Amino acid sequence: MNTGSFLEGATRVLFFTGKGGVGKTSLACATAVSLAWRGRKVLLVSTDPASNLDEVLGVQLSGRPTAVPSAEGLFALNIDPEAAAAAYRERVVGPYRGLLPEAALISMEEQLSGACTVEIAAFDEFTKLLGDPEATAGFDHIIFDTAPTGHTLRLLKLPAAWTGFIETNTTGTSCLGPLAGLQAQKALYDASLRTLADPEATTLVLVSRPEKSALAEAERTRQELAGMGLGNPYLLLNGVFTARDSGDPAAVALEALGRQALAVTPAGLAALPRIDVPLLPYPPMGIPNLRSVFAGQALRQAAPEPESDGPPASGTLAELVDEIEKAGRGG
């Protein structure tokens, strides 16, 4: 599948998920920048508690949409679980200050201070963006850059789990306070589930690398998402290396490793629409570099002037090692 088809036919909601370190954030940002460049209004959301969107986009973010400089139409935000939980606690406890004894207020705050409250409060912010059209009115696309696979699967399962809890709980209380106040949220949770399960509305983007472990985890994720009734998955294969010099043994060997991993791609994963993103000779950070990821320039970018923040020219692996050595730095 070509990149143009993926971008032009993009659904309103795109979820990027995958194993840690495969490049979810980079590709989510590159997709957001490319869609904004096409004239779309895009909201990029990180659900990762360890988000580095700020660094990749070069802008200080918060829990509210922030315009990204040099990318007209692109806005981004970080869902901060701790901040979401603190705001929720204050919404619940605040109205009772001055009305209830201090001991009662302290007790309420303690009940709302556990891990359950933190996770569900973050989920509450997530469902507003996913299930409430008014919360994202004016945006053509909502792109979710998620935490590594396990966290993301918990997040996607929460709407169903929390809706069931509201229906069956008989105690009248929860880690978010009285259930009476949560019944109004049920419609929002149901809307979130419908959006997630609608292939016309949501695309689940599985990000992997041409490595056996990453591909195996992507297949497990695909199976689990399918079991949840969530379809319309795509595979973005990041860091695909192609040797440009057949006489460079290191480069040839690196390409062979990738080919060997892809040769045993699980059948379910192999059947998905797939986009190969080449291994970049520059860091996918900053708007110019992010835009080039899907602009067909990744391996053809001309060498920039020293003052430019554009991506450097690519060469053989051996040449790249030589350049790093000359610069006197490296890792």
Q: What pLDDT score was predicted for residue 184?
A: 58
Q: Which amino acid is at 268?
A: G
Residue partners of 318: CB distance under 8 A and separation at least 6: 248, 250, 251
Q: What pLDDT score was predicted for residue 183?
A: 58
The number of residues in the chain equals 331
Q: What pLDDT score was predicted for residue 331?
A: 44
Enumerate domains of the chain plus CATH numbers. Answer: 3-327 (3.40.50.300)
Q: What pLDDT score was predicted for residue 259?
A: 93
Q: What pLDDT score was predicted for residue 261?
A: 94
User: Using an 8 Å Cβ cutoff, are 270 and 309 in contact?
Assistant: no
Q: What pLDDT score was predicted for residue 313?
A: 46
Q: Give phi and psi for 64, each to the nearest 5.
A: -120, 150
pLDDT tens, per residue, the chain with 331 residues: 667 788 989 999 998 988 888 999 999 999 999 999 999 999 999 988 788 999 999 999 998 999 999 999 999 999 887 787 787 778 778 888 888 899 888 887 887 776 666 767 777 788 889 888 888 999 999 999 987 766 666 666 665 565 555 555 555 555 555 444 555 566 777 788 788 889 999 999 999 999 999 999 999 999 988 888 887 899 999 999 999 888 999 999 999 999 999 999 999 999 999 999 999 989 999 999 999 998 754 433 333 333 444 454 445 555 555 555 555 544 4
Please report which helix (H) or strand (E) contains residue 66, including its range.
strand 66-67
Structure tokens that stand for 181 in this block: 């106040």
Q: What pLDDT score was predicted for residue 288?
A: 93
Give the CB-side neighbour count of residue 235, counting CA atoms within 13 A. 26
CA 165 – CA 38 distance, rounded (Å): 42
